[in-house]
Amino acid sequence: MRNSLILAALAASAVPGAGFRDVKELTSDLGGSINSALLTGADGKHFVVRQGATDSAALDLAAEVAALKALTGLELPFKVSGVLGESRAPGQRPAVVFEYVYGKPVDLGRTSAENPMSDSMGAAIAALHNLEAEPLRAGGFPEYSPIETVNQRLNELDRLAGTGKIPKVLLDRWSEALENVSLFRFTPTVVNSNLSSTNVLELDGAVSGILGWNGLKIGDPAEDFSWLAGHSDQELMDAVRFAYLGTRKIIDPNLSQRAHLYSEMHTARWMQHGLNVGDEGIVQEGIGMLNILVEEVNGGHLPTLTAGTFAKQTGLFIEVVEEAEAAEPELEVVQDPHVAIYADDATREIELPEKTDDELF
């Protein structure tokens, strides 16, 4: 509680007119690197104050602030947290006060393809991807071309292979996909790059907000579908993509295949993270997940990671057929903020208490 009171004092300095009266510590089951607290203002509104516990986390926090400021005022069908102020005590890292984004993390296990939430998710991702890239480019945000994206992933694959713990069938599958030039014909797009069921929030059956903007960049739109590709219900992935295509300005026939590739490699990255931090529990969990992928590959239950093109529309969904290597590029038809790669206290939305007995200040 002492740390929360310190954060509250910093928040009061950053936003002196808010009249904060209650403070509640936000904790993490995974031991996050961002200290945070939920604040209640005099008018009953809620706010979040965060401070990096490490220099690296402070840099992530700064990236989040820059991203949120870049998104301010843009037309999006969901809430993006506003940055209200910043304060720093002598010898401490900056503490930043954000607007609270209301909603709860979307539960994919309870969201079917027929659920209106799938339409809302597709529309939300499309609205993000339809943003003009030039303002971000001018603001110095990272930008990655298809070639740069492939090279990044190849370097990652080398690091993963170096652990000696990735099954050969998966290394071969991912290597073949990354060598397929046709698979990576995409238009660099404004992407969140950290979307997950943790930071996509739902309220009243629709996407109410999206969190975790420290990875904002211009890159592969498939990155924002990888969290859906890894879900067991592929009909939900198809439904979200169908809704996405309703307003998306760019046709990308290979988005789904790349999303599956990124999702699978993310599983290996989790195992590697365990090795990096010396957590044998994470390592064994990751190995178990990789073994499941191997079984699914051997059983023919995972989609092929080969280039395709839209052949025809049949009913609700669009059929995909294989495409020759020399096919033309696609045509233009025209952890709560601060989520890092791995969840911490900033990646988890909380249920607001109806009333609190927390200390006043």
Q: What is the pLDDT of residues 125-184, one digit of tens each?
A: 999 999 999 999 999 999 999 999 999 999 999 999 999 999 999 999 999 999 999 999
Q: State yes or no: pLDDT of 96 exceeds 60.
A: yes
Q: State yes or no: pLDDT of 333 exceeds 60.
A: no
Across the range 50-67, mean pLDDT stands at 93
pLDDT confidence of residue 249:
75
| Lowest-confidence pick of 122-131, 244-253, 332-341, 346-355 | 332-341
pLDDT confidence of residue 355:
40
Amino acid at site 124? A
- Matching fold, domains 2-101 and 104-322: no
Which class would CATH give 2-101? Answer: alpha beta
Residues 6+ apart with CB under 8 A from 185: 146, 254, 307, 327, 329, 330
pLDDT confidence of residue 339:
32
251 — pLDDT class (breaks 50, 70, 90): confident
pLDDT in tens, 266-297: 999 999 999 998 999 999 999 999 999 999 99
8-state DSSP, 247: T
**Tokens standing for 270?**
């989790």
pLDDT confidence of residue 244:
96
List the chain domain ranges.
2-101, 104-322
Fold of the domain spanning 104-322: Aminoglycoside 3'-phosphotransferase; Chain: A, domain 2 (3.90.1200)
CB 198 within 8 A of CB 347: yes
CB 51 within 8 A of CB 337: no
pLDDT in tens, 40-57: 998 899 999 999 988 999
pLDDT confidence of residue 271:
95
DSSP strands (E only) in the chain: 22-26, 34-40, 46-52, 83-87, 95-99, 104-105, 189-191, 200-203, 206-210, 217-219, 308-314, 317-322
